[in-house]
């Protein structure tokens, strides 16, 4: 009968008591015919060995008795701690929808070569049609003999100026914002203004209900009790562009929900009721809309947008008709005020 020598199991830090050359009869019970496998963990020759404390070595590649790296030898084992929201490591991507982290829109590009390249590209694409593909980073690198970081920073600067739009996986394209003109001689109609500027506008009614208005709306419109509030969502060339909240004075539009199912434009609806709406006051600012507005406009929370508040009167009588509070995407529309 063949004898095999018992060798210490170095992988688990177990030491053989009988010496390296002590004989042992019979095949190894923990190995198959090809010699693979090993004894069950923690036992040797039928004897149970004391289990090592949690957190100590004994695994492959850690050595005998060495504490586990990154943990105190006596520390309790638990679930891994969550990553910090600002973490930029390899474990988890940050940002909305697990999108890869990228340079913020408002971050300044300080590289003078990138700014020079952006100025040259801006002058070149000024006459290009909207939607024309802009050369990629690799094409810019080969054409202007610049590094990839310079080419990327130049395109980011053009995106910050709303001259191009970048789509992941599709490329970079020329972008032109629509000029929304506000003036005393302009009718307060969103559809008419967008159409005159070369765009195509559509609106969809979200809700029509009676509610108590905010103090600034009550001061502008007047009256007592709840007012009719109309919420709409406007699209510019099939892209959501504006969230509208309009408060109507008492008796102006008694069946507003029925009328908006027939006519999309509030200004045309009021003219059908023999009113002549004109814009009396208008205030345009840039601010961060509430999260609910950002969701409606498909913006990331904390983004900037146009905030437009206007009071519209009946021109012959001076009677307040409605007060409008709008949020408009700043990357699609540029407001132009004519005095």
DSSP state letters, 250-278: TTT-TTHHHHHTT-S-HHHHHHHTT--EE
- The reported pLDDT for the residue numbered 86 is 42
Contact status, residue 336 vs residue 181, Cβ threshold 8 Å: yes
Query: Is residue 151 domain-shared with residue 198, that is, in the same domain?
Result: no
Most confident range, picked from 63-72, 79-88, 256-265: 256-265
For residues 186 and 240, membership in a common domain is answered with yes
What residue numbers bound the domain in which 119 lies? 112-174
Residue 182 and residue 149 share a domain:
no
pLDDT for the residue numbered 70: 45
Tell whether 62 is covered by a domain. no
| Stronger pLDDT, 77 or 149, i.e. the higher one | 149
More confident residue, 42 or 142: 142
pLDDT at 184: 80
The answer to whether residue 61 is domain-embedded is no
**pLDDT single digits (tens) 214-251:** 999 999 998 888 999 999 999 999 999 999 999 999 99
Highest mean predicted confidence (pLDDT) among 104-108, 254-258, 290-294: 290-294
- 127 versus 27: the higher-pLDDT residue is 127
CATH number at residue 280: 3.40.1410.10
Residue 65 belongs to a domain: no
Question: What is the average pLDDT across 312-317?
Answer: 95
Q: Is residue 2 part of a domain?
A: no
Same domain, residue pair 293 and 224: yes
Instruction: Please tell me whether residues 131 and 232 are part of one structural domain.
Output: no
CA distances to 15, 24, 53, 58 from 11, in Å: 11, 21, 17, 7
Contact 52, 44 (CB under 8 A): no
Tell which of 148, 174, 200 closes a domain: 174
Where does residue 49 fall: left (phi above 0), alpha (psi -120 to 50 degrees), or beta otherwise?
beta
From residue 40, give the alpha-carbon distance in Å to each of 26, 29, 31, 50, 140: 17, 10, 10, 13, 62
The encoded tokens of residue 11 equal 């992988």
pLDDT, mean of residues 104-116: 74
Residue 210 and residue 165 share a domain: no
Mean pLDDT of 105-110: 61
Residues 283 and 192 in one domain: yes
pLDDT in tens, 242-268: 999 999 999 999 889 899 988 989 999
Average of pLDDT values for 13-36? 50
What is the model's pLDDT at position 74?
A: 47
Q: Rounded to a whole number, what is the largest CA-CA distance in the chain?
A: 119
pLDDT digits (tens, 9 = 90+) for 34-55: 555 555 554 445 455 455 555 4
- If asked whether residues 251 and 134 sit together in one domain, one would say no
Residues 146 and 247 grouped into a single domain: no
Residue 4 is assigned to a structural domain of this protein: no
Partnered with residue 315 across adjacent β-strands are none
Q: End of a domain among 128, 146, 174? A: 174
Question: What is the average per-residue pLDDT within 189-199?
Answer: 93
Residues 6 or more apart in contact with residue 231 via CB below 8 angstroms: 205, 206, 207, 208, 243, 244, 245
The pLDDT of residue 213 is above 50: yes
Cβ distance 99 to 138 under 8 Å?
no
Average pLDDT over residues 174-191: 92
Overall average pLDDT of the 14-29 stretch: 49
CA distance 12 to 307: 68
From CA 108, how far away is CA 286, in angstroms rounded?
19
The 3-state DSSP class for residue 24 equals: strand
In a 3-state reduction of DSSP, which class is residue 259?
Answer: helix
Q: Is residue 36 part of a domain?
A: no
Q: Both 197 and 260 in a single domain?
A: yes
Six-digit token string for 248: 């109507």
Which residue, of 139, 155, 174, is where some domain finishes?
A: 174
- For the chain, the domain total comes to 2
228 & 294 share domain:
yes
Whole-prediction pTM = 0.66
Identify the CATH number of the domain in which residue 155 sits.
1.10.10.10
CA distance 205 to 232: 4
- Could you tell me if residue 50 is inside a domain? no
Q: Tell me which H or E stretch contains 149.
A: helix 148-160
Is pLDDT at 9 greater than 60 in this prediction?
no
Mean pLDDT of the chain: 79
Q: Are residues 168 and 194 in the same domain?
A: no
- Whether 75 shows a pLDDT value over 50: the answer reads no
Q: pLDDT: is 76 or 337 the higher one?
A: 337
Residue 106 lies in a domain: no
């Amino acid at each position: 009968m063949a004898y095999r020598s018992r060798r210490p199991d170095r992988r688990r830090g177990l030491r053989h008591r009988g010496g390296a050359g002590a004989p042992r009869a019979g095949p190894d019970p923990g190995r198959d015919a090809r010699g693979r496998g090993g004894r069950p963990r923690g036992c040797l020759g039928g004897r149970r060995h004391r289990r090592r404390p949690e957190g100590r070595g004994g695994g492959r590649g850690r050595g005998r008795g060495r504490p586990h790296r990154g943990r105190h030898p006596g520390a309790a084992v638990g679930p891994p701690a969550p990553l910090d929201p600002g973490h930029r490591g390899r474990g988890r991507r940050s940002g909305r929808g697990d999108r890869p982290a990228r340079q913020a829109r408002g971050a300044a590009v300080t590289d003078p070569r990138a700014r020079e390249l952006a100025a040259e590209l801006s002058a070149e694409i000024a006459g290009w049609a909207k939607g024309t593909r802009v050369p990629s980073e690799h094409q810019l690198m080969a054409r202007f003999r610049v590094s990839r970081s310079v080419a990327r920073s130049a395109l980011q600067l053009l995106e910050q100026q709303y001259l191009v739009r970048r789509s992941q996986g599709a490329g970079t394209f020329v972008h032109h914002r629509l000029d929304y003109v506000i003036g005393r001689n302009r009718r307060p109609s969103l559809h008419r203004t967008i159409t005159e500027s070369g765009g195509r506008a559509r609106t969809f009614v979200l809700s029509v209900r009676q509610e108590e208005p905010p103090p600034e709306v009550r001061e502008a419109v007047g009256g007592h009790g709840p007012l009719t509030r109309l919420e709409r969502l406007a699209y510019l060339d099939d892209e959501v562009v504006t969230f509208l909240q309009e408060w109507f004075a008492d008796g102006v539009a008694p069946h507003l929900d029925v009328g908006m199912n027939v006519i999309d434009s509030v200004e045309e609806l009021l003219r059908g009721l023999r009113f002549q709406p004109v814009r009396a006051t208008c205030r345009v600012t840039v601010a961060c809309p509430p999260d609910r507005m950002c969701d409606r406009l498909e913006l990331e929370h904390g983004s900037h947008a146009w905030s437009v508040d206007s009071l519209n009167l009946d021109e012959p009588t001076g009677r307040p008709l409605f007060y409008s509070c709008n949020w408009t995407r700043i990357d699609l529309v540029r407001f132009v005020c004519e005095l």
